Chain A
Amino acid sequence: MGAAAICSHAEQNFIDLASTWAPGQDLANPDQWSAPIFLALKQAHNVLLTDFGCHEWSIDGPAPASAVPQIEGSSQNPAANAPQSASRNVVPPLTLLPLTLLCSTQTVDSNLDGNAKVPSVPAQCVITAHLMRCWPSHQYVLGDISLTRSEQTLGLQSSQRFKACPTDPDDTIFGLHFPPPATDSQVQADPSLKEKAWHLTWMPLAFLASLRPQRQQTRFTGEIFSVRRSERPSHFCVRTLSHTRNVLARSLSSICTGITYSLVRSTLGPSPAMITS
């Protein structure tokens, strides 16, 4: 009963996802799938079968011996290893549900005799554990992962710090609104003046602090995720970008208000957070 309930739950999730993201597809016929999300599922399924020692469930029984992968570094000769270490190095095959049964496991369940094993969708933790056991022979994948853009984006989103009043007065027209920087002779006389120079700090991602999923003003409304078939993707993007723009505009306003407040505080009280002295 428990297995049947799990199958039913997974099956219902699959059907719900398919009806939302790939409507009109025949779920029981993978050969006719054309939706990108289903093609990606087929590709992942094939990779698991060919490269990661998985096999499809069949009513006949357990996996063939050829499907059992060896961990790299272990001897191919079973006699060379002790039985305990051999059992550690051999990865037991992972049984996957055939794609044709993803939406009809209950039908198969009802047709099984008493000795047959009930098909089930393996839990994500089981799949992850199986993949990690096979990982040593797939470490070459690391060479194909590019971190360049991530590093560049991190650099773009790091905080910026400027002198409130630059050394060259021609670089700003707001010089009189900030205390002038100490001259070299003044710094030589009192080195602490160099540390006391005003700086402005800008954090591009500071607006995230004002975003909360629980706030009505900042969270994405549910309607932008409910794309109808008649709606073009561009319309979805426009609505999303428009909403994002409004959120950012409100956030920028709050940030700027905070800066203004900090400027006022700097003349009245202790040093503010945005302007360090």
Chain B
Amino acid sequence: MNVSAQLAHNSGLRVRINRKFATTAADSNKQGDVQAMEFGIPGYDDLVWDVSLVSDRIGSSTQHGLNGKLQLGDYLNARARRKIGKFRRDYAAKNIAFAPAILSVAGKIHPEFLRLL
């Protein structure tokens, strides 16, 4: 999170980290990780992204040498969908765009984070 915020700052953007925002949703404690002011997305004032790490393996290490079971399916996209469902609509009401920034422990990346980079 700090690295992505520093990158945005080095790119000349004004950045806020872990800033809560007023929302019409019942859960008023929602907050994204990094807010870049005036990012330049048409129709929106700012951009907020939320950094999340996903483990590629789940469960205990019951089988020798595997250290958990490898997740099948598009688990990065599933985490991204969950983040979008949690944040995007509330931020959009404030003219703020939202993007998930999803990485896996092994280093795989969600395409939307790569586009952001």
Contact = CB atoms under 8 A, between A and B. Distances in A.
A174 B100 CA distance: 12
A146 B64 contact: yes
A201 B41 CA distance: 23
Nearest to B77: A171
B45 interface: no
Interface stretch (B13-21, B22-30, B105-113): B105-113
B107 A156 contact: yes
A178 B115 contact: yes
B70 A152 contact: yes
Interface in A27-65: none
A176 B41 contact: yes
B115 A146 contact: no
Interface in B75-114: 97-99, 104, 106-109, 111-112, 114
A267 B4 CA distance: 23
A259 interface: yes
Contact of A204 (B97, B107, B117): B107
B65 A253 contact: no
B45 to A, nearest CB: 13
B109 A202 contact: yes
B41 A253 contact: no
A157 B112 CA distance: 19
A205 B107 contact: yes
A171 B99 CA distance: 10
B58 interface: no
Interface residues of A, number: 30
Contacts of A249: 2-3
B11 interface: yes
Given A148-B65, A162-B114, A177-B115, A157 B109 contact: no
Contacts of A238: none
B59 interface: no
A149 B65 contact: yes
Given A200-B115, A204-B108, A260-B11, A252 B3 contact: yes
A176 B40 CA distance: 10
A160 interface: yes
A253 B7 CA distance: 7
B42 interface: yes
Contact of A149 (B2, B67, B104): B67
B111 A162 contact: yes
A204 B114 CA distance: 12
B115 A256 contact: no
A79 interface: no
29 contacts: A146-B66, A149-B65, A149-B67, A153-B106, A156-B107, A157-B106, A157-B107, A162-B111, A162-B114, A162-B115, A171-B112, A172-B111, A173-B98, A173-B99, A174-B112, A174-B116, A200-B111, A200-B114, A200-B115, A202-B108, A202-B109, A202-B114, A204-B108, A205-B107, A256-B117, A257-B7, A259-B117, A260-B7, A260-B11
List the 7 closest pairs (A to B, CB-CB), nearest first: A204-B107, A156-B106, A162-B111, A174-B115, A202-B109, A249-B3, A256-B117
